[in-house]
Structure 1
Amino acid sequence: MRPVVVPALAAALARELVRRADEDRRVTRAAHRSPTQVARRRITECRRGNAEALKTIVKRHAWPTADVVGAPASTAALMILLHAPDLEFQLACRDLIAQATADGRCPAPHHAYIADHCAVELGQPQFYGTRVDPATFRPYPVRQPRTLDERREDVGLCPLDEQMRALRLGG
């Protein structure tokens, strides 16, 4: 059974998740502009702190689904999760997100992104082609590539060629 989150608490959780995701983006952009050891350490510290905060939220209130905290905050939680340094936590949340997606409480692309992330981290082929190798700028290996765009369409993602074109254009 899911814990009940009162509206005021849901709003506070939403603000905190968005604030933390924004901070991650800010320190990451700063590190790209000035790639120093200090900047890399700030990213690591930010992501570690964000992951600990998200673990606390999940432990107390379950996965912050879009129906509870709103779509922007649920997406912020996903970003925090994708940057978390703890694969075991990511795997546990992947299962929570899968259930929330099946129940209609979380957008299907959220499950696609965390499922692919976990597959790549485990050395397995991904399902939806959302993870791109930064060294080659090509997707990591994909399970059953012939039906990839069908799976992507099923979860509301554009065809892989469109995603890759957007990435090349910086979008």
Structure 2
Amino acid sequence: MRRPNRAPPTVAKEGPRTNDEIRNAQIQLIDAEGVNQGTVETMVAIKMAMEAGMDLVEISPNTSPPVCKIMDYGKYKYSAQKKAAEARKKQKVVEIKEIKLRPMIDDHDYDVKMRAMQRFFEEGDKVKITLRYRGREMAHQEIGTKLLDKVKADVAEFAKVEQDAKFEGRQVVMVLAPR
């Protein structure tokens, strides 16, 4: 059995319509110098753009008549790409770093973890502190609570508590965010 002949689906073009893609009979024209020329026939506007060695680009298609401008479309596309790349460069993705502690942590180990935490806050990341209890440590949860209070006090100047300490099975989780 043969499949019926179907035209391939039309590919939606990125960006504004240019030159012959503008289907409206009349447009609001802005020339290359940025001067509003008023309502003009589309064919006349395309001819004016060709004579200037530029393109007719649709700026706002949803108005009636649509606003079009005579400009170098290649340059316009290039500058738009540059702007988008610059915006992406300035974005900072906030990560959640995890620090794992035990209730009976030694002083030096605690200091090392605190330095790592401070570095994470300086980089603008959040820190998730996981305090894990093993075996009979569950009977002495006050030791873990004191440890978490000490952490809160030590980071108070450069971080704030975003999610207070809460139990998840045999561990306590607390999330801190940079100030």
Instruction: Please tell me the TM-score bracket, short chain as reference.
Output: under 0.3
User: Where is the strand percentage greater, Structure 1 or Structure 2?
Assistant: 2
The structure that has the greater radius of gyration is 2
TM-score (norm 2): 0.25
